[in-house]
Amino acid sequence: MDADYLPFHPSPKVPEYTPPAGAVDAHCHVFGPADTFPYSAKRKYTPCDAPKEKLFALRDHLGFSRNVIVQASCHGTDNAALVDALETAGPLARGVAVVSPDVTDAELDAMDKAGVRAVRFNFVKRLVDDTPKEVFTGIAERISKLGWHIVVYFEAPDLEELTPFLTSLPGIIVVDHMGRPDVSKGVDHPDFDRFVDLMANNENIWVKVSCPERLTVAGPPYDDVVPFSRRLVDAFPDRVLWGTDWPHPNMKSHMPDDGQLVDVIPRIATTDEARRKLLIDNPMRLYWPEEKKS
């Protein structure tokens, strides 16, 4: 791994908050192991291995029932580690893939069978090379036929430029990590209002109220981020998701205790109903629709 890469917390605490039975960690990753699933030659960082066994042990330790595993940029468009984890977990995990424009229909069908339900478009320039919007549009049209949705990752300064593109995409769009607002500006700043307005004006846009550890200025227990997450949960209770972001790639300030992250949940979703929607109803509707229909 890179010399300045921070490994994930070796022994997170048991959370004080107990998630309800059936709760979903809707944003996490698997990395490697590199000797089995090599990292991309085009990667912008080299992480420590964070294999499926560690992820599933963490799931159980924190009191969750299921995972949504998101392909991270260090593996590029090779989704082998993701698919392997999904096949191991069976009905207890679903996936978000990253694909190239030349991906074949057979490859998409195989990923769908394994449990992939979305693709991720990454616009964070320090993590990926710039990709023409037309490439994403072509992929979006193809995956919509499978009933998949789109996950997007960007930072707040890029929202205004990206808005026309985001609102042109078909189907459900899920925004990672609240669009990475600058929390030092305050929850009522026009920049965050712009993101709230985007969601208010587009009922197909969902959001992950995740990653306080990436957004915080004050540090744990993330008091400066809680108002942002709570505002979104209160305003859009049926379109919010939550995830650990384990193993927290590219953290520079500190490595969070995942148990402490779980303890943030009741502070941002303040009623039993809100927590049930955040942790069970919403992710199940999006990633396990066949179970919601049964």
Instruction: Tell me which residues are annotated as active site.
Output: 245
Residues 74, 98 contacting (CB under 8 angstroms): no
d(CA 17, CA 23): 12
Report the interhelical angle of 190-201 vs 159-168 (nearest 10°).
Answer: 0
Helix axes 80-89, 105-114, angle to 10 degrees: 40
Radius of gyration of the chain from Cα atoms?
18
Could you tell me if 33 and 54 are in contact, meaning their C-beta atoms sit under 8 angstroms apart?
A: no
> For residue 26, what are its two tokens?
């809707």
Which of these, 141, 217, 155, lies nearest to 185 by C-alpha position?
A: 217
- The CA-to-CA distance between both ends of the chain, in Å, stands at 44
**If you write DSSP's letter for every residue of 202-231 in order, what string do you get?**
-TTEEEE---HHHH-SS-TT-TTTHHHHHH
Residue 225, C-beta contacts closer than 8 angstroms, at least 6 positions apart: 183, 212, 215, 216
Q: Closest Cα partner for 162 from 118, 206, 124, 200?
A: 124
- Give percent helix, percent strand, percent coil of the chain, each to the nearest 5: 45, 15, 45
Hey, is 46 helix, strand or coil?
Answer: coil
